[in-house]
Amino acid sequence: MLRLGLLLLILPGVALMGVFWSEQSLVNECLSARGSFNYSAALCDMERSHPFIPFAVRYPLFVNLTMLASVAGFCCCLFGLYVRRR
């Protein structure tokens, strides 16, 4: 139970950070080229200015499921640490 808990605790956060930072690198490249990043279409636009839309607003299900999986992993870790093996 402890191993499952550790996997559920760590892997969703790593996946969430990976997706977030890969998108942030695209945004950084676009802004370095003096463009405006269209968060809705995930494209760099050199002509128009686009508003910032937070990651959690664009991908609420993904963010909430990864947080839920991490909480479930934390609970599994607690259960695995406090219950004796039989």
For the chain, the maximum distance between any two Cα atoms, rounded to a whole number of angstroms, is: 66
Decide: 44 and 35 in contact? Cβ < 8 Å. Answer: yes
Q: 29-39 pLDDT, tens per residue?
A: 999 999 999 99
- Non-local (6+) Cβ contacts of 45 within 8 A are 35, 36, 37, 38
Which of 10, 48, 9 is CA-nearest to residue 30? 48
Is the sign of the CA dihedral 30, 35, 39, 43 positive or negative?
negative
List per-residue pLDDT tens for the chain, 86 residues long: 888 999 999 999 999 999 999 999 999 999 999 999 999 999 999 999 999 999 999 999 999 999 999 999 999 999 988 886 65
Which pTM does this prediction carry?
Answer: 0.82
